[in-house]
Amino acid sequence: MGNFGIWVLTICLIFQSGFGFYLPGSYPLKHVVGNYLSVKVNSLTSIDTEMPFSYYSLPFCKPVEGVKDSAENLGELLMGDRIENSPYRFKMHTNETEIFLCQTNKLSSDDFKLLTKRIDEMYQVNLILDNLPAIRYTRKEGFMLRWTGYPIGVKIKDVYYVFNHLKFKVLVHKYEETNVARVMGTGDAVEGFPSVGNKGSDVPGYMVVGFEVIPCSVMHNGDLVKNLKMYEKYPSPIKCEPTTVSMPIKEGEPIVFTYEVTFEESDIKWPSRWDAYLKMEGAKVHWFSILNSLMVITFLAGIVLVIFLRTVRRDLTRYEELDKEAQALVNEELSGWKLVVGDVFRAPSNPALLCIMVGDGVQILGMAIVTILFAALGFMSPASRGTLITGMLFSYMILGIAAGYVAVRLWRTIGFGDHKGWVSVAWKAACFFPGIAFFILTILNFLLWGSHSTGAIPFSLFVILLLLWFCISVPLTLVGGYFGAKAPHIEYPVRTNQIPREIPAQKYPSWLLVLGAGTLPFGTLFIELFFIMSSIWMGRVYYVFGFLFIVVVLLVVVCAEVSLVLTYMHLCVEDWKWWWKSFFASGSVAIYIFLYSINYLMFDLKSLSGPVSATLYLGYSLFMVLTIMFATGTVCTQKMAH
């Protein structure tokens, strides 16, 4: 791809992300009876490997017009979605049975091995109709379970069977507003312009409000389909029994694919058609998590109130009112934190690195809050695939201004107002965390490339991400650094002694207390973390962003309170090196999240197979915990600096 093409694609992605926000139920599309509905296919997915593959990597039927990619946004590409057209097509409100699709070529040895391997790895086929994923219902122990997609096949007694007949059910609701000047479709839908007052506008139509699929394994007679063309009727009745399988996969023999479709009018209205996918499970558990966090916050708030309002503030004010001679006399009677008043704001070791990490943490935390808030308001529905990732990426880049401002202003505060070196700090803030992310994701991308997975980021997209980084994020961070250099630095309430005070020997390592402090923030979010992990790795839809926003706010409060209490405890034992310990006091929650990730891998992802899959899981988990460490650590440092 040439430079011009890359720039054009970049601009298109930016505009598409700007107009990609979708409110569920906002744009219904009218389908007239008899109009064709096209089914699309997404990548094959499995919780056994967590690596998506192209639908047409397996010997499935291909459309007559050839395989074509659908319009994709940046988020879809990063998530590994590859949406393509399929040979399946329906006529609106027209039931059809025994529809012949195709007969594949005789399975070669490679095709046979790959097909059986994908069945062993429990890969699912994902179909999409009018932006609705195909949903499959199964009954187990009296409970109705719902799944998106259907399995490629099944293995019974060392024999592999393929699901080669699909029974579709499309739920439709009568289109109620016929005189509309313009109706826009979403996802794979097209735009329609029924004119007001024209006779064509009075033609009755329907909206797709549900898409269900039942896969079956049916033995077909190859001799009967030799002269059949796609979409012609299969010459004999097809009995679809989901509980039985009869089409074994054999090397050197073809596979015949067929389907049937029925339409059913439903009371489901357009705004409610995603309810089956977004149905919130365990609402009481989410409320329990929030109440648990509120109890922790109340307990810590009481401690902070006692420490700062009744002790520190009173004594600090009194100490500042004394002259030097009086201070010398008072020092003879002081103990604890009062002895290190002259050292408490001494510059930490590696101050530039601390400022850079705090600035990047502000950028990450701001991105999280903005994205979750917009998602909670419905602007980033799963109905618009990839919008959440796209929104996160662009909000992160824009918030580079905040990263540069905070990093440089903290640098000047630590340096008592010195402007020297602010450009270097802002530049490093623009490159530090993105550089770490780029390094980790590049290594994982090589693993995906080697596995020929659609989850691998194409080289052209790598170029686009680099352009977005250096052409948008870096300049904005430098602009923020400029404003941070111009802004007045924070004035310390006490003077710093020229000679540092010696820290007495401690009974226990101070870092032990720092690491233990992460348990309280972890207790705030670990319940919600389970639902997020299930969404990422188990293929479940997560849409309780309202709960998540509350949990994030509570997490920020807990982090600030933990840092205040822990810093006070260190100062009480005359340990004035609080900067880095404040950062890692709540940043250490990342350690517990990583341990939880390992626990989740061992007990909830037992089926995850292969070293590549485990490496991908641990790599993405490491990236996640580093991000959380930056975001939570910066809360405490900013609070203590002020």
Residue pLDDT, tens place only, 501-522:
777 777 777 778 888 888 888 9
CA distances from 289 to 302, 522, 548 (A): 20, 11, 10
3-class secondary structure for 3-42? Answer: HHHHHHHHHHHHHHHHCCCECCCCCCCCEECCCEEEEEEC
CA distance 428 to 41: 43
Mean pLDDT value across residues 372-390: 82
Tell me what pLDDT residue 18 has: 37
Token pair in block for residue 151: 């399995």
pLDDT band at 623 (very low <50, low <70, confident <90, very high): very high
Mean pLDDT value across residues 515-543: 85
pLDDT at 430 over 90: yes
pLDDT at 181 over 70: no
pLDDT at 281 over 70: no
CA distance 225 to 254: 11
Closest residue by Cα to residue 132 from 25, 209, 36: 209
For 188-241, the pLDDT digits (tens) are: 433 333 333 344 456 778 999 999 999 999 998 878 888 899 999 998 899 888
CA distance 368 to 466: 21
CA atoms within 13 A on the CB side of 65: 9
Tell me what pLDDT residue 205 has: 87
Residue for token digits 């341990």?
595
* pLDDT over 90, % of the chain: 44
Instruction: Give me the chain's average pLDDT, please.
Output: 82
CB-based contacts of 283: which residues, under 8 Å, 6+ apart? none
Helices (H), 122-211: none
Stated as kind and residue range, the H or E segment containing 440 is: helix 422-450
Tell me what pLDDT residue 280 has: 52
CA-based end-to-end distance of the chain: 49
Tell me what pLDDT residue 521 has: 87
pLDDT at 341 over 50: yes
Give the β-pairing of 135-140 and 143-148.
Answer: antiparallel
Token pair in block for residue 411: 């640098």
Q: Which of 143-157, 526-540, 568-582 has the lowest mean pLDDT?
A: 568-582
Tell me what pLDDT residue 297 has: 77
Stated as kind and residue range, the H or E segment containing 172 is: strand 165-174
pLDDT band at 3 (very low <50, low <70, confident <90, very high): very low
pLDDT at 360 over 90: yes
CA distances from 265 to 22, 37, 168, 211, 219 (A): 25, 16, 14, 12, 31
Mean pLDDT value across residues 112-137: 94
CA distance 136 to 130: 17
* Number of other residues whose CB lies within 10 A of the CB of residue 14: 14
Mean pLDDT value across residues 317-339: 54
- Compare 579 and 621 and report the one with higher pLDDT: 621
Mean pLDDT value across residues 49-69: 92
**Do residues 550 and 290 lie in contact, with contact meaning Cβ atoms separated by under 8 Å?**
yes
For 593-622, the pLDDT digits (tens) are: 999 999 999 888 877 878 889 999 999 999
Tell me what pLDDT residue 282 has: 57
CA distance 609 to 612: 8
CA distance 636 to 551: 17
| DSSP code at position 380 | B
**Do residues 562 and 520 lie in contact, with contact meaning Cβ atoms separated by under 8 Å?**
yes
For 15-40, the pLDDT digits (tens) are: 333 333 334 434 688 889 999 999 99
For 84-124, the pLDDT digits (tens) are: 999 999 999 999 999 999 999 999 999 999 999 999 999 99
CA distance 477 to 403: 6
To the nearest 10°, the Cα dihedral for 491, 497, 499, 504? -100
pLDDT at 459 over 60: yes
